[in-house]
Amino acid sequence: MKLCVALDLPTLEENISLAKELKTFDIWLKVGFRSYIRDSRTIIDKLKEINPNFKIFLDLKLYDIPNTMADAAQEISELGIDMFNIHASSGKKAMQTVMDRLSKKEKRPLVLAVTALTSFDDQSFHEIYGTDIKTKASQFAKDAYESGIDGVVCSAFESSMIKTNTSKNFLTLTPGIRPFGEDAGDQKRVATITIAKKELVDFIVVGRPIYQSNNPKSIVERILSEI
Protein backbone atom coordinates (compact mmCIF):
# COMPACT_ATOMS: atom_id res chain seq x y z
CA MET A 1 0.00 0.00 0.00
CA LYS A 2 1.26 3.47 -0.96
CA LEU A 3 0.61 6.80 0.72
CA CYS A 4 -0.53 9.64 -1.52
CA VAL A 5 -0.43 13.09 0.13
CA ALA A 6 -3.01 15.59 -1.13
CA LEU A 7 -1.44 18.98 -1.84
CA ASP A 8 -4.59 21.04 -1.28
CA LEU A 9 -2.99 24.06 0.40
CA PRO A 10 -4.01 27.62 -0.51
CA THR A 11 -0.79 28.69 -2.25
CA LEU A 12 1.90 27.22 -4.49
CA GLU A 13 4.54 28.21 -1.93
CA GLU A 14 2.81 26.28 0.88
CA ASN A 15 2.44 23.17 -1.28
CA ILE A 16 6.06 23.35 -2.34
CA SER A 17 7.27 23.81 1.21
CA LEU A 18 5.22 20.76 2.31
CA ALA A 19 6.73 18.72 -0.55
CA LYS A 20 10.24 19.83 0.48
CA GLU A 21 9.55 18.75 4.04
CA LEU A 22 8.48 15.32 2.76
CA LYS A 23 11.13 14.91 0.08
CA THR A 24 12.96 11.97 1.64
CA PHE A 25 9.86 9.76 1.78
CA ASP A 26 8.79 7.19 -0.79
CA ILE A 27 5.36 8.71 -1.38
CA TRP A 28 2.95 9.87 -4.06
CA LEU A 29 1.73 13.47 -4.21
CA LYS A 30 -1.75 14.39 -5.32
CA VAL A 31 -2.26 17.60 -7.27
CA GLY A 32 -5.95 18.45 -7.42
CA PHE A 33 -8.30 21.09 -8.78
CA ARG A 34 -7.22 23.88 -6.52
CA SER A 35 -3.51 23.61 -7.20
CA TYR A 36 -3.70 22.71 -10.88
CA ILE A 37 -6.19 25.44 -11.79
CA ARG A 38 -4.04 28.02 -10.02
CA ASP A 39 -0.53 26.82 -10.85
CA SER A 40 -0.93 24.57 -13.92
CA ARG A 41 2.20 22.67 -14.89
CA THR A 42 4.49 24.88 -12.77
CA ILE A 43 3.55 22.83 -9.73
CA ILE A 44 4.30 19.53 -11.50
CA ASP A 45 7.71 20.76 -12.68
CA LYS A 46 8.60 22.15 -9.25
CA LEU A 47 7.65 18.90 -7.50
CA LYS A 48 9.82 16.87 -9.86
CA GLU A 49 12.70 19.32 -9.21
CA ILE A 50 12.40 18.73 -5.46
CA ASN A 51 12.55 14.96 -5.89
CA PRO A 52 12.47 13.38 -9.37
CA ASN A 53 11.26 10.16 -7.74
CA PHE A 54 8.09 11.70 -6.37
CA LYS A 55 5.15 10.06 -8.13
CA ILE A 56 2.41 12.49 -9.07
CA PHE A 57 -1.30 11.79 -9.22
CA LEU A 58 -3.21 14.50 -11.10
CA ASP A 59 -6.70 14.46 -9.62
CA LEU A 60 -8.80 16.35 -12.16
CA LYS A 61 -11.67 13.84 -12.46
CA LEU A 62 -12.41 14.36 -16.13
CA TYR A 63 -16.06 14.17 -17.19
CA ASP A 64 -17.11 15.18 -20.71
CA ILE A 65 -17.95 13.68 -24.10
CA PRO A 66 -15.58 10.85 -25.16
CA ASN A 67 -13.53 12.79 -27.72
CA THR A 68 -13.02 15.78 -25.43
CA MET A 69 -11.92 13.46 -22.62
CA ALA A 70 -9.48 11.65 -24.91
CA ASP A 71 -8.02 15.00 -26.06
CA ALA A 72 -7.58 16.08 -22.44
CA ALA A 73 -6.06 12.69 -21.51
CA GLN A 74 -3.57 13.04 -24.33
CA GLU A 75 -2.52 16.50 -23.08
CA ILE A 76 -2.28 15.19 -19.50
CA SER A 77 -0.04 12.36 -20.64
CA GLU A 78 2.48 14.97 -21.88
CA LEU A 79 2.82 16.56 -18.42
CA GLY A 80 5.13 13.93 -16.95
CA ILE A 81 2.66 12.85 -14.28
CA ASP A 82 2.25 9.21 -13.21
CA MET A 83 -1.50 8.79 -12.71
CA PHE A 84 -4.72 10.72 -13.37
CA ASN A 85 -8.43 10.06 -13.10
CA ILE A 86 -11.73 10.34 -14.92
CA HIS A 87 -15.32 9.74 -13.80
CA ALA A 88 -16.66 6.21 -14.39
CA SER A 89 -20.10 7.80 -14.78
CA SER A 90 -18.86 9.34 -18.05
CA GLY A 91 -19.60 5.85 -19.44
CA LYS A 92 -17.82 2.90 -21.04
CA LYS A 93 -17.51 4.59 -24.42
CA ALA A 94 -15.69 7.56 -22.88
CA MET A 95 -13.40 5.32 -20.79
CA GLN A 96 -12.59 3.14 -23.82
CA THR A 97 -11.91 6.19 -26.00
CA VAL A 98 -9.50 7.57 -23.41
CA MET A 99 -7.65 4.24 -23.13
CA ASP A 100 -7.54 3.77 -26.92
CA ARG A 101 -5.99 7.19 -27.33
CA LEU A 102 -3.40 6.58 -24.61
CA SER A 103 -2.53 3.13 -25.96
CA LYS A 104 -0.91 4.86 -28.95
CA LYS A 105 1.72 6.29 -26.64
CA GLU A 106 4.98 4.55 -25.82
CA LYS A 107 4.61 5.38 -22.11
CA ARG A 108 1.37 6.38 -20.46
CA PRO A 109 0.25 7.31 -16.95
CA LEU A 110 -2.03 5.02 -14.95
CA VAL A 111 -5.71 5.88 -15.32
CA LEU A 112 -8.23 5.50 -12.51
CA ALA A 113 -12.01 5.91 -12.68
CA VAL A 114 -13.93 7.58 -9.86
CA THR A 115 -16.84 5.43 -8.63
CA ALA A 116 -18.58 7.27 -5.77
CA LEU A 117 -17.08 10.32 -4.09
CA THR A 118 -16.28 9.63 -0.44
CA SER A 119 -18.21 12.77 0.56
CA PHE A 120 -21.49 10.99 -0.37
CA ASP A 121 -23.50 9.07 2.17
CA ASP A 122 -26.08 6.57 0.94
CA GLN A 123 -28.95 9.09 1.07
CA SER A 124 -27.21 11.89 -0.86
CA PHE A 125 -25.89 9.32 -3.36
CA HIS A 126 -29.38 7.86 -3.86
CA GLU A 127 -30.79 11.31 -4.68
CA ILE A 128 -28.51 11.52 -7.73
CA TYR A 129 -27.98 7.91 -8.86
CA GLY A 130 -31.21 6.30 -7.67
CA THR A 131 -29.41 3.41 -5.97
CA ASP A 132 -27.08 2.69 -3.05
CA ILE A 133 -23.33 3.30 -3.16
CA LYS A 134 -22.21 -0.35 -3.04
CA THR A 135 -24.37 -1.43 -5.99
CA LYS A 136 -23.37 1.50 -8.19
CA ALA A 137 -19.69 1.55 -7.20
CA SER A 138 -19.51 -2.12 -8.04
CA GLN A 139 -21.15 -1.56 -11.46
CA PHE A 140 -18.90 1.44 -12.22
CA ALA A 141 -15.83 -0.60 -11.29
CA LYS A 142 -16.89 -3.43 -13.59
CA ASP A 143 -17.48 -0.94 -16.43
CA ALA A 144 -14.06 0.61 -15.83
CA TYR A 145 -12.33 -2.79 -15.74
CA GLU A 146 -14.00 -3.87 -18.98
CA SER A 147 -12.96 -0.57 -20.58
CA GLY A 148 -9.26 -1.22 -19.91
CA ILE A 149 -8.90 1.28 -17.04
CA ASP A 150 -6.15 0.50 -14.49
CA GLY A 151 -8.21 0.90 -11.32
CA VAL A 152 -10.76 2.93 -9.41
CA VAL A 153 -11.15 5.63 -6.80
CA CYS A 154 -13.54 4.31 -4.16
CA SER A 155 -14.00 4.27 -0.41
CA ALA A 156 -11.99 1.78 1.63
CA PHE A 157 -15.22 -0.09 2.32
CA GLU A 158 -15.66 -1.10 -1.33
CA SER A 159 -12.06 -1.97 -2.21
CA SER A 160 -11.94 -5.72 -1.61
CA MET A 161 -15.44 -6.28 -3.05
CA ILE A 162 -14.32 -4.45 -6.23
CA LYS A 163 -11.19 -6.59 -6.49
CA THR A 164 -13.27 -9.74 -6.06
CA ASN A 165 -15.61 -8.62 -8.84
CA THR A 166 -12.82 -7.59 -11.23
CA SER A 167 -9.24 -8.67 -10.57
CA LYS A 168 -6.88 -8.51 -7.61
CA ASN A 169 -4.55 -6.48 -9.84
CA PHE A 170 -7.22 -3.87 -10.52
CA LEU A 171 -5.98 -0.89 -8.47
CA THR A 172 -7.97 0.80 -5.73
CA LEU A 173 -7.25 4.27 -4.40
CA THR A 174 -9.17 5.47 -1.40
CA PRO A 175 -9.51 9.03 -0.09
CA GLY A 176 -11.34 9.77 3.15
CA ILE A 177 -8.59 8.17 5.24
CA ARG A 178 -8.31 9.44 8.80
CA PRO A 179 -5.23 7.54 9.99
CA PHE A 180 -5.52 8.31 13.69
CA GLY A 181 -9.18 9.21 14.14
CA GLU A 182 -8.83 12.85 13.01
CA ASP A 183 -11.80 15.09 12.16
CA ALA A 184 -13.65 13.82 9.06
CA GLY A 185 -14.41 17.32 7.67
CA ASP A 186 -16.76 16.95 4.69
CA GLN A 187 -15.91 13.25 4.21
CA LYS A 188 -18.75 10.85 5.04
CA ARG A 189 -17.20 7.40 4.62
CA VAL A 190 -13.90 7.67 6.47
CA ALA A 191 -11.63 4.73 7.26
CA THR A 192 -8.43 4.05 9.18
CA ILE A 193 -5.23 2.51 7.83
CA THR A 194 -6.11 -0.81 9.47
CA ILE A 195 -9.39 -0.93 7.50
CA ALA A 196 -7.60 0.09 4.28
CA LYS A 197 -5.06 -2.71 4.75
CA LYS A 198 -7.75 -5.26 5.45
CA GLU A 199 -9.59 -4.11 2.32
CA LEU A 200 -6.42 -4.57 0.19
CA VAL A 201 -6.30 -0.91 -0.83
CA ASP A 202 -3.37 -0.02 -3.14
CA PHE A 203 -3.21 3.74 -2.48
CA ILE A 204 -4.52 5.75 0.46
CA VAL A 205 -4.99 9.50 -0.03
CA VAL A 206 -4.49 11.68 3.04
CA GLY A 207 -4.85 15.44 2.93
CA ARG A 208 -6.00 17.49 5.90
CA PRO A 209 -4.69 15.12 8.63
CA ILE A 210 -1.20 15.79 7.22
CA TYR A 211 -1.18 19.38 5.96
CA GLN A 212 -3.22 20.78 8.85
CA SER A 213 -0.97 19.17 11.43
CA ASN A 214 1.79 21.09 13.24
CA ASN A 215 4.23 18.38 12.27
CA PRO A 216 3.35 16.86 8.88
CA LYS A 217 6.62 14.95 8.71
CA SER A 218 5.92 13.01 11.90
CA ILE A 219 2.37 12.17 10.74
CA VAL A 220 3.77 10.82 7.46
CA GLU A 221 6.35 8.80 9.39
CA ARG A 222 3.63 7.32 11.59
CA ILE A 223 1.43 6.50 8.59
CA LEU A 224 4.30 4.84 6.73
CA SER A 225 5.20 2.75 9.75
CA GLU A 226 1.60 1.56 10.04
CA ILE A 227 1.47 0.75 6.36
Question: Minimal CA–CA distance to 176: which of 198, 206, 136?
Answer: 206
Candidates 46, 48, 61, 197; catalytic one: 61
| Interaction of residue 39 with ligand C5P, rule CB under 6 A | no
Is residue 205 at the binding interface for ligand C5P, with CB under 6 A as the rule? yes
The single residue among 3, 8, 97, 188 that binds ligand C5P, judged by CB under 6 A, is 8
142 is catalytic: no
The least CB distance from residue 213 to ligand C5P, in Å, is 11
Asked if 59 touches ligand C5P (CB under 6 A), the answer is yes
- Smaller CB separation from ligand C5P, 19 or 67: 19
* Cβ distance to ligand C5P smaller for residue 31 or 94: 31
220 binds ligand C5P (CB under 6 A): no
Catalytic sites, residue numbers: 61
Which residues lie near ligand C5P (CB under 6 A)? 6, 8, 32, 59, 114, 117-118, 153, 175-176, 185, 187, 205-208
